[in-house]
Amino acid sequence: MARKLISLDDLTPNCLGVLKTINSVVLPTSYTAEWYQESLEAGELVKLAYYSEIPVGAIKAKQVYSSNTSKPSTVPTGVYIESFAVLPAYQQKGVGSALLENLEAETAKRFIHELIAHVWCENTAGVAWYELKGFIKKDEVEKGYYEAQGLKNPDAYVMVKKI
């Protein structure tokens, strides 16, 4: 097989259903219809991953701005990963890495120096994976982040990678 096993592609209105399916199957969080509609505008910050031409993973991020409300800024301070999922059967095959690497490159291209993600405290594999990728766990946990999803310990770590 000459073609690449893993490839990335843009999100288009025609394959929005794929993003919905992957997120709803893999993630505890559910996203609104508006969120999905807005994803179409996210440009390079949203990507689908194909494994042997089957869509199996997706990432969606957005730029975040300084939380200092007194001085609203138009300069983004970081890229925040809103959703990031790979179908279980296709994990540990480099699909997630490909998606993340692409996002890191895109972040660098925008001269943004911080990549941020929330990870559920109980998801030790997830935390370990992010650490392996160079993310650093912040000391304070975000209490009750996953409350709405009804997880038993709803706290989340904030993981950050400097680019």
Q: Using the rule CB under 8 A, is 135 a contact of another protein?
A: no
Contact by Cβ (8 Å): 61, 80: yes
Kindly state whether residue 17 participates in binding another protein, applying the rule CB under 8 A.
yes
- 146 lines the binding site for another protein (CB under 8 A): no
Residues 6+ apart with CB under 8 A from 39: 11, 16, 19, 46, 60
CB of 23 to another protein, least distance (A): 11
Torsion of CA 105, 110, 112, 113, to 10 degrees: 30
Minimum distance, C-beta of residue 103 to another protein, in the bound complex (Å): 20
Q: Kindly tell me the burial class for residue 27, based on how many C-beta atoms sit within 10 Å of its own C-beta (0-12, 13-18, 19 or more).
A: middle
Is the Cβ–Cβ distance between 40 and 13 less than 8 Å?
yes
Region 59-88 residues binding another protein, contact defined as CB under 8 A: 87-88
What's the number of CA atoms in the CB half-sphere (13 Å) around residue 75? 6
Contact region with another protein (CB under 8 A), list: 7-15, 97-105, 115-123, 154-162: 7-15
Contact flag: residue 37 with another protein (CB under 8 A): no
Contacting another protein within 94-133 (CB under 8 A): none
Q: CB 45 → another protein: shortest distance, Å?
A: 21
- The binding site for another protein (CB under 8 A) comprises 1, 13-18, 21-22, 25, 51-52, 54-56, 87-93
